[in-house]
A and B are shown apart, each in its own frame.
Chain A
Amino acid sequence: MKQALEGVKVADFSWVGVGPIIARILAHHGATVVHIESETAPDPLRALAPYKDNISGLNRCAYHACLNDGKYGVTLNLRHPKAKGVVERFVEWADVVSESFAPGVAARLGISYEDVREVKPDIIMYSSCNLGQTGPHARFRGFGTNLVALVGTTHLTGWPDRMPTPPYGALTDVIAPLFGVSALVAALDYHRKTGKGQYLDLSQFESTVHFLTPLILDYQANGRVAQRTGNTSPYAAPHGVYPCKGHDRWCAIAVHTPEEWKAFCKVIDNPDWTKDPRFSSVLARRRNEEELNRLIGEWTIGLSAEEVMVKMQEAGMAAGVVETPGTIQDNPQLKHRHHYRALEHPEIGLHHYDATPFTLSKTPCDLKMPGPCLGQHNEYVYTKILGISDEEFVALLGEGVFE
């Protein structure tokens, strides 16, 4: 099967979230990616649940596996004096070098852009971290779970009468890579046409804040500091999630225009309360939203979330089951889209990986390799790809260069 990025070679020194996800998307589209780790300082992600059968272990962590599938996994102890030679071989081989340590660490480990450019002047390198390579807070440590708060999304999630509740996990770790891939592929294209490489400084803060631009403008133009408003929307009423049959089952419904309101009333068999003047106009519905939601809940509670969704959609309304981590893999649409691909992991066994959110008609993504165990492809990569002779490989191995 043809792949768009066939022939692109990536030396991926990055760890945790954004760096590996960017490289992973390239790998799914044909790039040859080598994920370089170190046993002495393993990827923190390898120490996060869930583990196979809840038994922790560096190679039993699905989190790491699912962000590094499609890559060859090798280990290299960058602090080892002999590591520099191996790094140079990687750079000579690679079109792209990536890292996502805290700013300054790469320089200490000898894989800064200056180091790498000396070996290959037209190399493309990207560094991704929370706050960017420069600036007063560049060295502030933190994961995606922290950045979500800094970027303003946490403040905007939850109920107005309560503390902000965080959107789940490292949301910014999933947004930033989409910016990273776009810029990186553009740089690859530019390099192919001009022969010029470059350095990409991806601040996850500066990319994900783009999603909230309208609120930034709102603050400047109208002095308004946007607040969390639960599930209400200024554009629609009724708008929210409603309790359905079964434990903690919900269905989201959004009614935007007066015509949709009429259709909505028809679906719920036009109960008397729908004629109440308190719900007779868009503005009235917005003002009496709590009562409206309660009354709607009385109808939805009698039906399964799927039934509510189907009834609404058939009448032309936006509605959808609130899927959960436990039900998402059975979602009919995601199944049809072949979004979850099962691969056999040496230690974890058969488990599922997310495909990319876009499908290319002629060069689609292809998930072939599960996440690598630590150093799983050392021999193959160092001897077959980098062309190190067997003897030298064994010697370096003995000296602990590959720990």
Chain B
Amino acid sequence: MSQKDGPLSSCRVLDLTDEKGLFCGKMLVDLGADVIKIEPPGGDPCRNVGPFYRDIPDPEKSLYWLSFNTGKRGITLNIEVSDGRRIFRQLVERADIVIESYEPGYLDSLGLGYSDLSQINPGLILTSISPFGETGPYKDFKASDIVVMALSGYMSLSGDPDRPPVRTSFPIAYCFGAAGAAAGTMIAYYHRELTGEGQWVDASAQQAVASALLNARMHWDLNRVELKRAGPYRVGLSAQGKQLINFRCKDGYVNFVMFGGKTGAKTNRGLTQWMESEGMGSDFMNEIDWDSFDMARVSQDDFDRFEGDIERFFLTRTKSELYEEGSKRGVTIYPISTIRDVFEDPQLEARDFWQRVEHPELDATLLYPGPFVKCSQTQLRPPSRAPRIGEHNQEIYHNELGMSPEELVMLRQAKAI
């Protein structure tokens, strides 16, 4: 009988992160952990990050917050005051994992660093997520998405050559770092379950994003060739020129990457025949023997010419037509999807990827991404609503830690919760 709420049933996580680490907590929720999001009294500052429900900038209407805190339980706690720290230590005694994304050294300054927490709970795993890591010359650097994208080297490769390098308009650097942190946390958790030994996981967003350079870095490492951003063209495949990979089509843009040799032969031949069958054949492409086609030996003029033929053909069809029909013909053409295309994607639809989450206080039902992996035995937990500010204070402070209502009122007035 398969488990419905992920493989990590009995794992308790205390989530102190802000936007640099929320995603790590979310992944652990999906894997089945009981994640308690600890916010400062008054709510987490990243509840002010948009977009917002109906564009109303209310801390309970941040779609950013709702996205990356699904399924967490929410409490408010101020670890800057003694009462807050005492309660936090009580929670740490019962926790398996603590994840945080404060400035490096901040928890130590409060007496809550790894050395302190591991005395309270030797088996504890502390995952610290930061833009550049807990140590090193940049550890105290102030960061934001664009700065991490810049310092990881990744941003230098996107955008048009006649304009500055450009980042993806929606911030992903912190999700990157947090996803890396989740992987590291799981490895540490595996070790702990085996040996009882906890440890400190130090995750860096810069390193996570830097690994996306992949072979671009290797061009320099091996042959001191530095790749440059080239707009909708691609470099790095054929050492000679740049090869267009984003083409206009009837209702937007599509992505078509031409590979040489055996890898690309089937696709290239399929496209050439498809264009020919539609009376829009390209003389140049018809003559090429695709099996032995070597990108390196194609001149830039030839590239430009047949790319023009291809675009003329694509302009006669929509994204989905090129995608669906192309696939039937073994021609790999992917739509450059807008968010709407992604939301309406038939593949995701068919795999019941989008899952309904009720939002009674917004009196709305929204569809959220489903499990990031389909597991046959331990299905990942379906998404549920993110917590409101302090929603589970009673449940945890009163029911679990046994604090009386009077004490909770006093703690509230002392700005501890």
Contacts and interface: CB of A to CB of B under 8 A. Distances in A.
Nearest to B359: A221
A328 interface: yes
B131 to A, nearest CB: 9
A53 interface: yes
Interface stretch (A41-49, A83-91, A278-286, A375-383): A41-49
Contacts of B50: 234-235
B413 interface: no
B119 to A, nearest CB: 15
Contacts of A224: 51
A226 B169 contact: yes
Contacts of A234: 50
B53 A221 contact: yes
Given A146-B332, A150-B337, A222-B55, A156 B168 contact: yes
- State the majority secondary structure of interface residues on A: mixed
Nearest to A25: B183
B246 A163 contact: yes
B338 A225 contact: yes
A299 interface: no
B117 interface: no
A54 B296 CA distance: 11
A165 B158 contact: yes
B179 A179 contact: yes
Given A136-B346, A326-B224, 14 more contacts: A5-B190, A142-B332, A149-B336, A169-B212, A186-B6, A206-B353, A209-B348, A212-B339, A322-B150, A324-B226, A333-B151, A336-B135, A356-B183, A363-B191
A41 to B, nearest CB: 9
Contacts of A316: 142
A186 B143 contact: no
Interface string B133-144: 101111101111
Contacts, number: 544
Interface residues of B, number: 161
B190 A322 contact: no
A301 interface: no
Contact of B351 (A29, A134, A193, A320): A134
Contact of A175 (B32, B176, B246, B327): B176
A215 interface: yes
Interface string A21-42: 0000100010000000000000
Contacts of A221: 51, 53-54, 63, 364, 366
B335 A254 contact: no
Interface stretch (B81-89, B199-207, B271-279, B393-401): B199-207
A162 B160 CA distance: 9
B109 interface: no
A173 interface: yes
B368 A213 contact: yes
Contacts of B176: 175, 178, 211
Contact of A178 (B32, B143, B182, B254): B182
A231 B166 contact: yes
B369 A213 contact: yes
A253 B416 CA distance: 36
B172 to A, nearest CB: 5
A79 to B, nearest CB: 16
Contacts of B293: none
20 contacts: A47-B263, A49-B237, A66-B214, A132-B347, A154-B336, A165-B159, A166-B232, A169-B216, A198-B378, A201-B373, A216-B67, A217-B366, A226-B338, A230-B166, A240-B164, A317-B142, A323-B150, A337-B204, A348-B222, A357-B211
B115 to A, nearest CB: 11
B232 to A, nearest CB: 5
A281 to B, nearest CB: 17
Nearest to A327: B153
A373 interface: no
Nearest to A31: B187
Contacts of A145: 234, 245, 255, 257
Contacts of A188: 190
A239 interface: yes
Given A217-B66, A318-B147, A358-B181, A53 B223 contact: yes
Contacts of A358: 127, 180-181, 183-184, 201-204, 207
Interface string A111-148: 00100000000000010000111111111111101111
A53 B142 CA distance: 40
A196 interface: yes
B133 A189 contact: no
Given A140-B332, A173-B214, A226-B169, A333 B206 contact: yes
